């Protein structure tokens, strides 16, 4: 007959109470949020009485995880950026060129004179004047290749060289391109993270998506444009040899050279060697400072290898001009006065104090290794988010009340049981969402409302079945038992299929849609739990107390 073991009863109530406790902080959202922020601040060492007071708003012994609000509810900016991984090939090849040139020059007797040809940016083409020496030339160039570690095994090298007539074509190997792409995206991710952290916003989401994309979501920021300014400033710092100075932007540069405008002198252009002597990647520190004339400047220091290259170059080129290039603009082109061995220096230019501070921050955070292309950007104002929350709240409450009344009217006492289960169900759903730190979005709220409507389905199935079983009249207890037993397969099949679609939606969807899939999926779990266990327990307890001879469902 109707019987549920004591341990099961305890377990069921325990799950409900735990779920409700986990959901509780969401009922006091602002208060818990302030308290959590204050506690985090205190942990960081900002311990003021105000902070203590804010932290004290929510007792420590209660759970304090909240459901995260998605961008569409909180307001903020969303960017999907594609890292132009190909950019890196170009700088890699440019960096290769001096090495290849020097190696081939050493073999001048066999290969003759060499000349770099114009080429696609991701390759180097070198023509040799004695094609008979091609075999030797290829051997020399291939000798420069380094081993790459790949998953597919050893033997792969970072560059590939082949001959096309009297021309050697050098390219990055496919294995190296893959490895390089991965490194580039990771680096970009890390740098974006650091830049956003320096600005200090709350809970940014910075994720890699697919092979070469990065998703950036920052709540509370004014616009996607603002966000782009923070991360989009590449701060690509290089130190290049200067080949000449001109006032004509259309000057044709020599091979391996480029024309770069000056930052503060209008109409002045520098012709630079494309291959930099040192790059900003080798910087270890940058600080705002003042030069000897009291003007704002930036002090910088290189790492050991950077310092060595910088030292060697300055030693060999005393008296020659030298360009400090930031994001394709020459900041300044001082003449090298003396050998600079220590690897530290100062960048001067027409900076304001603020500019020099920003420049130092950007240099310290490191340059983005490649450009970013923004594929998708969304800005949601905080007011729109708040409106959506308010509308969502009202709609949920009205939906709730409508369903509660309808169930009570249709099933009487059993309807009340189902209603208690429904309320528990939404509580459990919020508890689960907080527990896994899920993000609630506007479609997610729709998912909750839909759950409210559909969650009673399992109970309806059971109640309708009990009604049917009552007709064959073997006593109410038996009818209830049979009702649960026979409805079970329909409940499981129906919910498993819905759960499958929710899972697919979660796997394929992104952003708000994913938020919907989460609430829908978890809603199915909690509604099956409450229907099968909680209402049953309530009915059993009621039945044990009253022992009714007949029941009406």
- For β-strands 68-69 and 439-440, DSSP reports them as parallel
The answer to whether 473 contacts another protein (rule: CB under 8 A) is no
- Report the run of H or E that residue 169 belongs to, with start and end: strand 167-172
Q: Is 86 in the site for another protein (CB under 8 A)?
A: no
Closer of 122 and 457 to another protein (Cβ): 457
Tokens 């902080």 sit on residue: 25
Helices in 75-121 by DSSP H: which ranges? 86-105, 108-111
Q: Which of 33, 122, 329, 376 binds another protein (CB under 8 A)?
A: 376
- Is 327 near another protein (CB under 8 A)? no
Q: Does 374 bind another protein (CB under 8 A)?
A: yes
Q: Which of 320, 496, 544, 548 binds another protein (CB under 8 A)?
A: 496
Is the CB of residue 403 less than 8 Å from the CB of residue 452? yes
Q: From 194-202, 300-308, 397-405, 534-542, give the range in contact with another protein by CB under 8 A.
A: 397-405
How many Cβ atoms from other residues are within 10 Å of residue 213's Cβ? 17
Q: Is 208 an interacting residue with respect to another protein (CB under 8 A)? A: no
Among 85, 159, 324, 461, binds another protein (CB under 8 A): 461
In a 3-state reduction of DSSP, which class is residue 331?
strand
Determine which residue in the list 464, 482, 541, 542 makes contact with another protein, applying CB under 8 A: 464
Identified binder of another protein from the candidate list 88, 426, 517, 522, rule CB under 8 A: 517
- 10 binds another protein, rule: CB under 8 A: no
485 lines the binding site for another protein (CB under 8 A): no
Polymer length in residues for the chain: 553
Judged by CB under 8 A, the number of residues near another protein is 73
CA distance 373 to 80: 8
Choice between 276 and 512, CB closer to another protein: 512
* Residue found under tokens 């509604």: 527
Interface residue with another protein among 336, 513, 525, 541 (CB under 8 A) is: 513
Q: Which of 51, 71, 48, 32 is nearest to 378 (CA)?
A: 71
Question: Which C-beta is closer to another protein: that of 25 or that of 219?
Answer: 219
**Residue 518 binds to another protein (criterion: CB under 8 A):** no
The DSSP secondary-structure symbol of 147 reads B
DSSP 435-473: HTT-EE-HHHHHHHHHHHHHHHHHHHHHHHHHHHHHHT-
Among 47, 50, 485, 493, binds another protein (CB under 8 A): 493
Rounded least distance, CB 84 to another protein, Å:
10
Select the span of 163-171, 251-259, 329-337, 459-467 touching another protein (CB under 8 A).
Answer: 459-467
In whole angstroms, the minimum distance from the beta carbon of 495 to another protein comes to: 7
Q: Which of 41, 336, 420, 494 binds another protein (CB under 8 A)?
A: 494
- Find out whether 538 and 411 touch, Cβ atoms under 8 Å: no
Per CB under 8 A, 226 contacts another protein: no
* Separation between Cα atoms, residue 361 and residue 229, nearest integer Å: 14
Question: DSSP string of 413-429?
Answer: HHHHHHHHHHHHHHHHH
Please give the Cα distance from 460 to 318 (Å, whole number): 89
- Write down the least CB distance from residue 494 to another protein, Å: 4
Tell which one of 410, 420, 478, 542 touches another protein (CB under 8 A): 410
Nearest Cα to Cα of residue 219 among 241, 202, 244, 196: 202
The alpha carbon dihedral of 134, 135, 137, 138 has a sign of positive
Residue whose CB is less far from another protein, 14 or 508: 508
383 binds another protein (CB under 8 A): yes
Do 202 and 221 form a contact (C-beta atoms < 8 A)? no
Q: Which of 450, 482, 525, 541 binds another protein (CB under 8 A)?
A: 450
Please identify, among the stretches 158-166, 243-251, 301-309, 500-508, the one whose residues bind another protein according to the rule CB under 8 A. Answer: 500-508
Q: Which is nearer to another protein, 217 or 240 (CB)?
A: 217
Q: Is 534 in the site for another protein (CB under 8 A)?
A: no
Regarding 412 and contact with another protein (CB under 8 A), the answer is yes
Any contact of residue 21 with another protein (CB under 8 A)? no
Q: Is the dihedral of CA 178, 184, 187, 188 positive or negative?
A: negative
As a whole number of angstroms, the distance between CA 196 and CA 12 comes to: 45
Alpha helices in 349-441 (DSSP H): 353-365, 382-435
Binding mask 100-139 for another protein (x = CB under 8 A): ----------------------------------------
For position 392 contacting another protein by CB under 8 A, the verdict is yes
**CB nearer another protein, residue 257 or residue 388:** 388
- Containing 496, the helix (H) or strand (E) segment is helix 476-508
- Integer Cα distance of 450 and 337 in angstroms: 74
- Please, which residue, 111 or 206, has the CB nearer to another protein? 206
């Amino acid at each position: 007959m109707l019987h549920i073991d004591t341990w099961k009863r305890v377990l069921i109530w325990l799950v409900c109470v735990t779920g409700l406790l986990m959901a509780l902080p969401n009922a006091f959202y602002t208060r818990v949020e302030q308290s959590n922020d204050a506690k985090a601040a205190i942990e960081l060492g900002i311990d003021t009485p105000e902070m203590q007071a804010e932290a004290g708003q929510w007792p420590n012994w209660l759970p304090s995880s909240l459901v995260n609000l998605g961008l569409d509810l909180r307001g903020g900016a969303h960017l999907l950026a594609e890292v132009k991984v190909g950019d890196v090939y170009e700088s890699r090849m440019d960096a290769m060129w001096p090495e290849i040139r020097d190696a081939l020059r050493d073999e001048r007797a066999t290969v003759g004179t060499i000349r770099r040809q114009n080429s696609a940016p991701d390759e180097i083409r070198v023509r040799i004047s004695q094609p008979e020496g091609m075999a030797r030339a290829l051997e020399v160039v291939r000798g420069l290749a380094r081993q790459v570690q790949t998953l597919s095994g050893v033997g792969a090298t970072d560059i590939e060289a082949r001959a096309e007539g009297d021309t050697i074509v050098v390219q990055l190997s496919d294995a190296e391109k893959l490895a390089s792409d991965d490194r580039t995206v990771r680096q970009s991710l890390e740098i974006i993270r650091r830049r956003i952290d320096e600005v200090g916003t709350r809970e940014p989401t910075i994720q890699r998506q697919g092979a070469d994309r990065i998703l950036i979501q920052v709540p509370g920021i004014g616009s996607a444009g603002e966000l782009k300014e923070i991360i989009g400033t590449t701060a690509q710092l290089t130190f290049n040899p200067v080949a000449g100075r001109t006032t004509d932007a259309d000057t044709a540069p020599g091979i391996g050279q480029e024309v770069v405008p000056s930052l503060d002198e209008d109409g002045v252009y520098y012709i630079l060697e494309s291959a930099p002597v040192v790059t900003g990647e080798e910087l270890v520190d940058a600080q705002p400072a003042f030069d000897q004339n009291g003007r704002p400047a930036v002090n910088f220091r290189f790492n050991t290898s950077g310092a060595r290259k910088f030292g060697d170059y300055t030693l060999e080129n005393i008296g020659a001009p030298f360009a400090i290039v930031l994001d394709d603009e020459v900041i300044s082109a001082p003449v090298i006065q003396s050998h600079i061995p220590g690897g530290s220096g100062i960048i001067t230019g027409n900076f304001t104090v603020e500019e020099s501070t920003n420049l130092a921050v950007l240099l310290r955070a490191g340059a983005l290794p490649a450009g970013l292309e923004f594929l998708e950007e969304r800005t949601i104002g905080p007011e729109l988010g708040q409106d959506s929350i308010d509308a969502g709240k009202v709609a949920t409450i009205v939906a709730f009340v409508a369903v509660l009344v309808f169930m009570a009217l249709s099933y009487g006492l059993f309807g009340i049981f189902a209603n208690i289960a429904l309320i528990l169900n939404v509580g459990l759903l919020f508890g689960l969402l907080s527990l896994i730190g899920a993000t609630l979005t506007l479609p997610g709220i729709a998912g909750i409302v839909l759950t409210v409507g559909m969650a009673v389905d399992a109970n309806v199935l059971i109640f309708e079945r009990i009604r049917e079983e009552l007709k064959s009249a073997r006593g109410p207890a038996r009818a209830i038992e049979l009702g649960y037993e026979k409805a079970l397969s329909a409940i499981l099949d129906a919910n498993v299929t819905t759960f499958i679609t929710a899972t697919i939606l979660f796997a394929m969807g992104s952003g708000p849609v994913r938020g919907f899939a989460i609430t829908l999926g978890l809603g199915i779990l909690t509604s099956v739990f409450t229907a099968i266990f909680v209402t049953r327990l309530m009915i059993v307890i009621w039945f044990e107390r009253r022992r009714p001879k007949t029941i009406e469902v």
